[in-house]
Amino acid sequence: MRGEKIPVGILGATGIVGQRLVALLEQHPWFEVTEVAASDRSAGLRYEEAVHWLLPSPIPERVRRLVVKECAPGLECQLVFSALPADVAAEVEPEFARAGYVVCSNASAHRLEPDVPLLIPEVNPDHLQAIAHQRRRRGWARGFIVTNPNCSTIHLTLVLKPLMDRFGLRQVMVTTLQALSGAGYPGVTSLDIVDNVIPFIKNEEEKLETETRKLLGRWEGEGFAFAPLRISAQCNRVPTLDGHMECVSLAFERRPTREEIIEALASFASVPQQLRLPTAPARPIVVREEPDRPQPRLDREVERGMASVVGRIRPCAILDYKMVILGHNTIRGAAGAALLNAELLLAQGWLP
Amino acid sequence: MRGEKIPVGILGATGIVGQRLVALLEQHPWFEVTEVAASDRSAGLRYEEAVHWLLPSPIPERVRRLVVKECAPGLECQLVFSALPADVAAEVEPEFARAGYVVCSNASAHRLEPDVPLLIPEVNPDHLQAIAHQRRRRGWARGFIVTNPNCSTIHLTLVLKPLMDRFGLRQVMVTTLQALSGAGYPGVTSLDIVDNVIPFIKNEEEKLETETRKLLGRWEGEGFAFAPLRISAQCNRVPTLDGHMECVSLAFERRPTREEIIEALASFASVPQQLRLPTAPARPIVVREEPDRPQPRLDREVERGMASVVGRIRPCAILDYKMVILGHNTIRGAAGAALLNAELLLAQGWLP
Amino acid sequence: MRGEKIPVGILGATGIVGQRLVALLEQHPWFEVTEVAASDRSAGLRYEEAVHWLLPSPIPERVRRLVVKECAPGLECQLVFSALPADVAAEVEPEFARAGYVVCSNASAHRLEPDVPLLIPEVNPDHLQAIAHQRRRRGWARGFIVTNPNCSTIHLTLVLKPLMDRFGLRQVMVTTLQALSGAGYPGVTSLDIVDNVIPFIKNEEEKLETETRKLLGRWEGEGFAFAPLRISAQCNRVPTLDGHMECVSLAFERRPTREEIIEALASFASVPQQLRLPTAPARPIVVREEPDRPQPRLDREVERGMASVVGRIRPCAILDYKMVILGHNTIRGAAGAALLNAELLLAQGWLP
Amino acid sequence: MRGEKIPVGILGATGIVGQRLVALLEQHPWFEVTEVAASDRSAGLRYEEAVHWLLPSPIPERVRRLVVKECAPGLECQLVFSALPADVAAEVEPEFARAGYVVCSNASAHRLEPDVPLLIPEVNPDHLQAIAHQRRRRGWARGFIVTNPNCSTIHLTLVLKPLMDRFGLRQVMVTTLQALSGAGYPGVTSLDIVDNVIPFIKNEEEKLETETRKLLGRWEGEGFAFAPLRISAQCNRVPTLDGHMECVSLAFERRPTREEIIEALASFASVPQQLRLPTAPARPIVVREEPDRPQPRLDREVERGMASVVGRIRPCAILDYKMVILGHNTIRGAAGAALLNAELLLAQGWLP
């Protein structure tokens, strides 16, 4: 059986998201990590020498001794996950796609390009239609790039999707309280964040306000029509390790009851659930009724970190309803998102 | 000189706000702490024995050896500061007022009563007119109760005041990130908040939504007319020691430019500044232009903890402008607020 | 199969250690939680209503709906785990033993009694011989009490055992850095520990200095001969959630080489490993060679929290060798310790 | 008066220790900062542009607008404080001394050189005699280098000094719990230390074990005779912002009573107190009797951060006595140490 798994590579394998990918792929039924690539500084070392491993689970045995390669085509696999920094991804990912690789990218570099799917399998699986256009336009024979959104955007959008479908969405106000791991490693230095909050994350508000509208928009054959939503975001860094929290206020086209909202969220299931993709959560959205939930440390592991947890659903004095969203930022918000995208690609026949 | 200072008592002197009062009054030019009162558990002990002192400065020498009294009339002073829990304050404060004491209260018990001033000296000093009505209505000869708002309300309202005066205010969306000291001692246990955020503070959203409207309203001879604002609040507890942060979005009657907002905030001064009250900040509102300020640990001590610090002023895609407010929750947000109220009372001749 | 599991009860089931027991017993091959008992305040509620659940895994389905009973004989099981506070345990545990229950206790109440085994299955399984004496002396027909040590003692002693056996031990200096969960819930309040360290844990130094010597001593038919070691402990509380760290310096009877120490630790295995007890770690002691390990967050989950992790083994300028020990305080240090004791009792025929 | 102050420069002025120096010198009666120097990256910028200011007090007005220079002779002053990294200090400090500057260095580069005083004014003021030898040996006409010890060494040695003088010292076991600011900026990243402890600080144990012995040793005309002590150190990084804690165990030549120890510590005063140096603490050592003190957040500011606070003095089962020491690591442990050294130099006529 093992010999039949699909070999995959990880670009940026030593970073926080790369580590999560290594861990999530350890027991994966379809994929097997055969290549790890990182910056020149790490290339040539064994993975265990190159990585500053931050997860409580040990480095998987198979990956521990892999020799880290450079981030350039030549890896022995046809599918690569990219956990590269945006500026590196901007150059490297197209090289891989041109060389025939399927690239599932967590990087922001190509998310907003008019021929690149920005994908959440539960939200906009039909956006994969853009792949054919992407290949044509760029002259790529077999390879292509599919991206997943920013870590805070994923959880927001996952929750907005069933609400938009049922009640129509007009306005979204969101204030985030984001975890440290979202800044990568080394990221935020302790002297800046112990006993503190930083009310600024570079480019994050723009990503939330833009990516969400592409995700909830439509593929129109030659490009994406963004959803006609108004979104306003304020982003903060708080001293939690994992788990982004979002305080949201929403205005609908048709004001639902509180029960209708809960029902729409709790019953939500979509293509990944129907296809039983291995990494798909049974419940993409989990609703909590306690007055003080969700909380990052207590709820980030729900559904192995692949769900968005929603609580405190209540009326808003200005827009229609307020609620609190919580989700794991490096699992569903990054590594798990890229992996679920790859699973959808395989299940729908996009992999060679 | 020292003998001429006005003797004051502190009710609830061993709690966090009581401790701040003790510290703020140490070198006060007008007042001198001669009485400390607390729960029966502490009564009879010397203050240094009864208190679990949490401030980095030492217990002031004069107060250290005062014997803690019970919270009942009989204290040798005519002005008392109340840092009592709400349920105790509900009973004890009227007893003191009836017995002739002036009560400057930080407790929530009487804040919303129709004959009790809820006071921020920079915002609504004219609300002190209600005192005469309060005495008449309750049959109190000399004593009365004046309250200060909740810790997060004070900083929000201080910032809203000049904006409302200049541009008119219609809507206020606010999401708070509040410090641990706001919950008192022992308050939040470490197992609940290390590596975590709690998206709920009991009654806090209601206080923000209601108190703000009383503060910005008008005294109308027999009661207060609340300001016709719509306010929607979401409150979170984060693992910072001191300093409440508030992410705010505002809709105005007349949309100002960004420069007009900055000018209105930075130039704001009011009665406490004109009267040069000892605890009044030179600048009640400090505007920062850096992209990542204000921050709790770096900005909570500005103007000795008596200012509100505002930053990140920028347009909002839904309402008109967004900004971030930061203020010390136990100084300007509690102990300093009660003290500034007492200073205004003295300066305007309300003390015996 | 399920019907054949041995029913067990948990006394003090709603506390931190009680919760860990519930979680560890969820999939246990031999035991099944059928009774949960707690203070009168909780009795009568369903477990999910009574508990302030702090673990990231959800409450096990079977236990969630159990009705919490009072801590008094009458529970339908013959084996109870006690995670009671010491003062309650002092009274309740003998009542259970007298009524015929086998009590595996994590409480300190009876640890030092001359007829009660203080047990770490890898260290002193022969101390179970005291049970017969205990029953005789107290007139208990079937029941008895077995205790496990304090959380920091367990990890220290587990590491000392193979070293004492091979090289003889004369002196042990230990300074601990202990996690918040060791204080139970609510335990340490956040205002006391954020940005701080507390160099004092009530009775902890005494426990370390005394319990270790009983564990490493001998059962002599009528009582325990404590090991003739000199131990000096300094205990600190630090702001980590789980995982006690101990900086140790040791003097031996025969000074080993560094390699001999590593070999003695890394090769250590004992009765639980030979009996393949379900909760026994494959490696009770894990040695790390990196210069900066062990660390609480990275190493506390090794061997599912049942191992002691040792690093930084190096010469000491005063005694012979220094090293750093790290172990999970509520798993191997409490709940897992009580459970492993019960497994040993079952395997050796002590359970009815 | 102000015109008569002595102009001083700060090398490495933008780092954490440099910032503390800027703050401590703001109101200094003798010195005035006229020059700030830092790495090439900062040179040419105004100080407020170059620095990532981390202190709660604002940047002093006079320094705010100073243009940052390169760290090379040419600064308009004759006294420079060096807060440079060790490798830079190794080259730059001798250049300054050769060019005639008096260098008060916090860097480790020259601390152990046989002709450089490693100075704590309360401990070994007579070591300044080495300056004449240093100049002769190196051919420096007017300049010279004086260093202060490592941050954890200073507090340990300050406490050991009166004990050694009175009772003789044979052995010192010390386990440290060190604050984040000791690692400089950016220093320890938050992902490495939140909910964690790191049992390793590069070179720190060696510094503690060696510098202490030089400080407590004697100048013998051509070199220093180190004190014949045995010291064994274990160093840990914990998530506190400021304040190093040290758990110490001591063996004496003549075993004192507990009261004699307290008396020796509490009554300690030395040259800086006799000379009334401006930065000298009135009490260099403060003894606390509470069972749970000292604590970093509560005690680091004692005597404006210039004292060592000692508590938990009690017998040790292996050596003679145990105790806990706490001191501010960037004030008395670094910036204040260099400043006090300079004050002693001025008071004793060593400055031009």
Q: Which residue in the block uniquely carries the two structure tokens 């954490």? A: D16
- The verdict on D32 and D143 lying in the same domain is yes
Count of Cβ atoms closer than 10 Å to residue C221 Cβ: 8
- The verdict on A76 and A188 lying in the same domain is no
- The verdict on D109 and D185 lying in the same domain is no
Given a cut of 90, whether residue C4 has pLDDT beyond it is no
The whole-number pLDDT of residue C351 equals: 92
- List, in sequence order, every residue forming a beta bridge with D118; answer none if it has no partner: D147
Q: What is the CATH number of the domain that holds B80?
A: 3.40.50.720
Measured in residues, chain B has a length of 352
Chain D residue closest in CA terms to C175: D175
At A155 the three-state DSSP class reads: helix
Tokens coding B281: 């900040």
The whole-number pLDDT of residue C316 equals: 98
Contacts of C194 in chain B (CB under 8 A): 180, 190, 194, 239-241
Tokens coding A18: 């790369």
**Partner residue opposite B185 with nearest CB, options C16, C189, C241:** C189
Cα-Cα-Cα-Cα dihedral sign, residues D7, D9, D14, D20: negative
Task: Cite the DSSP H helix spans in chain D.
Answer: 16-24, 47-50, 61-64, 86-98, 130-138, 151-167, 190-193, 204-215, 258-266, 271-274, 296-299, 336-347
Contact B234 A175 (CB under 8 A): yes
Residue D352 lies in a domain: no
A186: preceding bond cis by omega (within 30 degrees): yes
The whole-number pLDDT of residue B56 equals: 85
Contact A232 B238 (CB under 8 A): no
Task: Cite the DSSP H helix spans in chain B.
Answer: 16-24, 47-50, 61-64, 86-98, 130-138, 151-167, 190-193, 204-215, 258-266, 271-274, 296-299, 336-347
- The verdict on D132 and D20 lying in the same domain is yes
Contact A317 B209 (CB under 8 A): yes
For C161-216, write each residue's pLDDT tens digit. 999 999 999 999 999 999 999 999 999 999 999 999 999 999 999 999 999 999 99
CA distances from A257 to A263, A289, B231, C344 (A): 10, 15, 21, 57
The answer to whether residues C320 and C255 touch, using CB atoms and an 8 Å cutoff, is yes
The helix/strand count (H/E) of chain B reads as 12, 14
The answer to whether residues D47 and D64 touch, using CB atoms and an 8 Å cutoff, is yes
Interface of C with A (CB under 8 A): 53-54, 56-58, 194-195, 297-298, 300-302
Q: What is the ipTM of this complex?
A: 0.95
Q: What per-residue string of b and e applies to B267-302 under the rule 16 or more CB within 10 Å gives b? A: ebebbbbebebbbbbebbbbbbeeebbbbbbbbbbb
User: If you average pLDDT over every residue of chain C, what do you get?
Assistant: 97
Q: What is the pLDDT confidence band of residue C3, given thresholds at 50, 70 and 90?
A: low
Q: Which residue in the block uniquely carries the two structure tokens 């209503």? A: C49
- The verdict on B116 and B180 lying in the same domain is no
**Partner residue opposite B194 with nearest CB, options C16, C192, C241:** C241
Mean pLDDT of residues grouped by 10 in chain B (352 residues)? 80 97 97 96 95 92 96 96 97 98 98 98 98 97 97 98 98 98 96 98 98 98 96 98 98 98 98 98 97 97 97 98 98 98 97 85
Tokens coding B138: 């309750």
From the candidates B71, B104, B151, B235, give the one annotated as an active-site residue: B151
Query: What are the backbone dihedrals phi and psi of residue A219, each rounded to the nearest 5 degrees, phi first?
Result: -80, 125
Query: Of all residues in chain C, what percent are helix, strand and coil, respectively (each to 5)?
Result: 35, 25, 40
- The verdict on D310 and D180 lying in the same domain is yes
The whole-number pLDDT of residue B162 equals: 98
**Partner residue opposite A188 with nearest CB, options D16, D185, D190:** D190
The whole-number pLDDT of residue D352 equals: 78
Contact D300 B56 (CB under 8 A): yes
**Partner residue opposite C239 with nearest CB, options B186, B189, B194:** B194
Respond yes or no: is residue B316 known to be catalytic.
no
For A289-332, write each residue's pLDDT tens digit. 999 999 999 999 999 999 999 999 999 999 999 999 999 999 99
Q: Which of C49, C51, C240, C301 to mutate to test the interface with A (most CBs of A within 10 A)?
A: C301
- The verdict on A183 and A78 lying in the same domain is no
Count of Cβ atoms closer than 10 Å to residue C81 Cβ: 29
- The verdict on C220 and C144 lying in the same domain is no
- The verdict on A202 and A307 lying in the same domain is yes
**Partner residue opposite A194 with nearest CB, options C57, C195, C298:** C195
Tokens coding D274: 């006799």
At B156 the three-state DSSP class reads: helix
- The verdict on C227 and C146 lying in the same domain is no
DSSP state letters, C5-23: SEEEEEETTTSHHHHHHHH
Cα-Cα-Cα-Cα dihedral sign, residues A5, A7, A9, A13: positive
CA distances from C140 to A104, B144, C127, C131 (A): 67, 68, 18, 10
From the candidates C151, C155, C235, C328, give the one annotated as an active-site residue: C151
Q: What per-residue string of b and e applies to B216-234 under the rule 16 or more CB within 10 Å gives b? A: bbebeeeebebbebebbbb
Contact D56 B195 (CB under 8 A): no
Closest CA to B240 of B280, B293, B300: B300
Residue B1 lies in a domain: no
Q: List, by residue number, the catalytic residues of A.
A: 151, 244
Write the Ramachandran bin of A203: left for phi over 0, alpha for psi from -120 to 50, otherwise beta.
left
Cut 0.90: pTM above it: yes
- One-letter amino acid identity for A126? D
The whole-number pLDDT of residue D56 equals: 85
Residue A191 lies in a domain: yes
- List, in sequence order, every residue forming a beta bridge with C189; answer none if it has no partner: B189
Contacts of A232 in chain B (CB under 8 A): 249, 316-319, 322
Closest CA to B316 of A321, A199, A174: A174
Residue B20 lies in a domain: yes
Residue C352 lies in a domain: no
Give dist(CA D25, CA D79) in Å, integer.
13
Cα-Cα-Cα-Cα dihedral sign, residues C85, C86, C87, C93: positive
Interface of D with A (CB under 8 A): 16, 54, 180-181, 185-195, 239-241
Q: What is the CATH number of the domain that holds C260?
A: 3.30.360.10
* Number of structural domains in chain B: 2
Q: Which chains touch C (3 or more CB pairs under 8 A)?
A: A, B, D
Give dist(CA C33, CA B189) in Å, integer.
29
DSSP state letters, A22-81: HHHTTT-SSEEEEEEEE-TTTTTSBHHHH----SSSPPPHHHHTPBPEESSS--S-SEEE
Q: Which chains touch D (3 or more CB pairs under 8 A)?
A: A, B, C
Residue B352 lies in a domain: no
Tokens coding C196: 């701080």
Residues 6+ apart with CB under 8 A from A129: A219
Helix (H) or strand (E) segment spanning residue C341: helix C336-347
Q: What per-residue string of b and e applies to C138-170 under the rule 16 or more CB within 10 Å gives b? A: bebeebbbbbbbbbbbbbbbbbbbbbbebbebb
Contacts of D173 in chain C (CB under 8 A): 173, 249, 318
Question: Domain range spanning residue B239?
Answer: 151-328
Residue A240 lies in a domain: yes
Instruction: Show the low-confidence residues of chain D (pLDDT under 50).
Output: 1-2
- The verdict on D113 and D165 lying in the same domain is no
Residue A135 lies in a domain: yes
Question: Strands, E, within C139-229: which ranges?
Answer: 144-147, 169-178, 218-219, 224-225
The answer to whether residues B287 and B258 touch, using CB atoms and an 8 Å cutoff, is no
CA distances from C211 to C56, C237, D201, D214 (A): 32, 20, 32, 40
- The verdict on D116 and D251 lying in the same domain is no
Contact A232 B171 (CB under 8 A): no
DSSP state letters, B49-64: HH----SSSPPPHHHH
Angle between helical axes of D258-266 and D151-167 (0-180°, round to 10):
120
- Output Rg (C-alpha) for chain D, integer angstroms: 19
Give dist(CA C67, CA C337) in Å, integer.
26
The whole-number pLDDT of residue C1 equals: 37
